[in-house]
Amino acid sequence: MKNPFVSEIAAQVAPLTGLSPAEIEYALTVPPDAALGDYAFPCFLPAKTLRRKPADIAADLAAKFQPGALVTAARAEGPYANFFADRPAFARWILSRARAEGDRFGGSDEGVGKTVIVEFSSPNIAKHLGVHHIRSTMIGNALVKIYGALGYKVVSINFLGDWGTQFGILMAAFRKWGDATTLEGDAVSNLNALYVRYNAAAKEDPALRDEGRAWFKRLEDGDSEAVALWQQFRQISLAEFEKVYELLGVRFDVLSGESQYDRHMPQTIERLEKAGLARLDQGALIVDLSAQKMPPVLLRKSDGATLYDTRDVAAAEDRWNTYRFARMIYVVGGEQQLHFRQIFTVLGLMGYPWSKDCFHVHFGILRLGGEKMSGRQGKVVMLRDVLREAVERALKAVTEKNPALPNKEEIAAAVGIGAVVFNDLKRGRIKDVDFDWDAVLSFEGETGPYVQYAHARMCSILRKHGLPVADAPDWTLLREPEEFALLKALSVFNAAIRRAADANEPSVISQYLLDLCGRFSTYYHKHKVLGEDPALTAARIALVDAVRQTVANGLALLGMKAPEEM
């Protein structure tokens, strides 16, 4: 979003410093205290080429500055040249913009014509979604919305872990102990119990692992019994996943999975061989990456079955052929960093220039009581249980605080799930987190409900006001410093979205919302919006409506609901 105030400063400063306007805009900062000014140019940069002291340059810039309608004054403060924006003009600019753009405010069209692929969630079938799945699922979902807001065409892909030796193990376990009742009721739990039991037994009897591998080989070879079993497991799992995605409000454009690429294996391996990359080693087919100082990639095991590396290469090729993406993002845990570095390297060696447009967006581990969650050992907290508990607590809170609300269940769902989602998205995705029920279910402080509450309060004010929001109230009436702080915060929403996309980091949005809502909370405690003076009220209502719109847009980017009452 082009900021005319910044442009004006850059246009005036550039000729005096020998820097280009773009360089000035880039270098402009915000003073630590609003009393110092609204924008600041640190004069260290041109000091060397101009061979003058930064403080002298600052004084010179301030003296030569021509006040205008947008930027009214410049003052030197040590090595900084500080600039003051005309507040009514600033209010008119950002508020009418927010009003005109509505639910598109903050976005842009910089991505129009480009496609971004986001692969996320990607659970393994025959298991429940654990709390840890919320990480990939909601980070990915947020990235889909963030890129979408910037005009990109986004393709969201759920790439199921529905192929591999583990399903051989599951089949072996099912054949050993399972029956028709296993697939009834809470079938996923039943299957998982068998899987856990089998893995435990395999520790005593290694022959069981071989049996599992053999079953996977049968599946890959198209054995009808194996395929039928696998299809049942997959269907049962998908139905279970769908319930949770529904609660979270997550949808995928493409439901894919590793199984889909099994048939691509021969051609992909052939291309790798033709490129002179594949070679046999100890009976297995590998790509040697010692030149890149990485361990080799295993393409095919000595028993002939393929591995996920190979399937990921095939899937990447297929996606390029289908979408011609500008960027492809894999939202997968940090444990797989080596895997993706290897895959991207192999794609590069295969001669695909787009390998540089592939990104592994990794995130930290979610631990349970200090230990990593393990499906194999059955040590997981189920995501559905966390969500259910959060909604229950939210319902209790709504009932206590606002007993008259008619649609409490709906609001409790929005707030409870919002709490869980925001808790996951509020910190940098790289951080490891230890799962903490109290933190996840907290509705106070830096939480989702805090942001939603601020939004509900703004809606409440607008509701009470009852009149339409004025397009052009008297902007000069917005004189309070807290009002200008809000206006400035609104003016950087677009920058926050761009930063979130650049870094593939949804927490930029969460942090922005906490800051914005904090400013709003301070404001409405200190100043009354609905007052006796209709002109002042109209101006403040316009401000509140723009903040409300911005918070709603931000919550949508995180995949959260914005209830109007709570």
Partner RNA sequence: GCGCCCGUAGCUCAGUUGGAUAGAGCGGCGGUUUCCUAAACCGCAGGCCACAGGUUCAAAUCCUGUCGGGCGUGCCA
Given 3, 136, 166, 256, the residue binding RNA (CB under 7 A):
166
State in angstroms the smallest separation of the CB of 58 from RNA: 9
Q: Should residue 281 be labelled a site residue for RNA when binding is judged by CB under 7 A? A: yes
Q: Should residue 178 be labelled a site residue for RNA when binding is judged by CB under 7 A? A: no
Span near RNA by CB under 7 A; candidates 14-22, 270-278, 289-297, 345-353? 289-297
Report DSSP state, residue 341: H
Q: What gap in Å lies between CA 25 and CA 19, rounded to an integer?
A: 10
Report DSSP state, residue 530: S
Q: What gap in Å lies between CA 126 and CA 119, rounded to an integer?
A: 20
Given 95, 173, 269, 508, the residue binding RNA (CB under 7 A):
508
Given 74, 191, 226, 286, the residue binding RNA (CB under 7 A):
286
Q: Should residue 461 be labelled a site residue for RNA when binding is judged by CB under 7 A? A: yes
Sign of the C-alpha dihedral computed for residues 161, 166, 172 and 174 taken in this order = negative
Binding mask 92-131 for RNA (x = CB under 7 A): --------------------------------x-------
Name the maximum alpha-carbon separation found in the chain.
Answer: 87
Output Rg (C-alpha) for the chain, integer angstroms. 28
Given 60, 77, 101, 389, the residue binding RNA (CB under 7 A):
77
Stated as kind and residue range, the H or E segment containing 371 is: strand 371-372
State in angstroms the smallest separation of the CB of 373 from RNA: 11
State in angstroms the smallest separation of the CB of 473 from RNA: 15
Asked if 315 and 230 touch (Cβ cutoff 8 Å), the reply is no
Q: Should residue 303 be labelled a site residue for RNA when binding is judged by CB under 7 A? A: yes
Q: In what order do the strands lie in the sheet with 366-368?
A: 371-372, 366-368, 433-435
How many residues sit in the footprint of RNA (CB under 7 A)? 99
Binding mask 467-496 for RNA (x = CB under 7 A): ----------------------------x-
Asked if 259 and 249 touch (Cβ cutoff 8 Å), the reply is no
N- to C-terminal Cα distance for the chain? 33
State in angstroms the smallest separation of the CB of 26 from RNA: 5
DSSP string, 50-88: HTS-HHHHHHHHHHH----SSEEEEEEETTEEEEEE-HH
Sign of the C-alpha dihedral computed for residues 265, 268, 273 and 278 taken in this order = negative
- What residue has token string 């200190």? 526
| Subset of residues 193 to 232 that bind RNA, contact rule: CB under 7 A | 213
| Subset of residues 36 to 65 that bind RNA, contact rule: CB under 7 A | 36-37, 40, 42, 44-45, 47, 54
Given 24, 79, 229, 248, the residue binding RNA (CB under 7 A):
79
| Subset of residues 395 to 454 that bind RNA, contact rule: CB under 7 A | 397-398, 401-402, 411, 415, 426-428, 430-433, 439, 443-447, 449-450, 453
Q: What gap in Å lies between CA 427 and CA 421, rounded to an integer?
A: 11
Closer of 62 and 153 to RNA (Cβ): 62
State in angstroms the smallest separation of the CB of 432 from RNA: 5
Sign of the C-alpha dihedral computed for residues 236, 241, 242 and 243 taken in this order = positive
Q: Should residue 72 be labelled a site residue for RNA when binding is judged by CB under 7 A? A: no
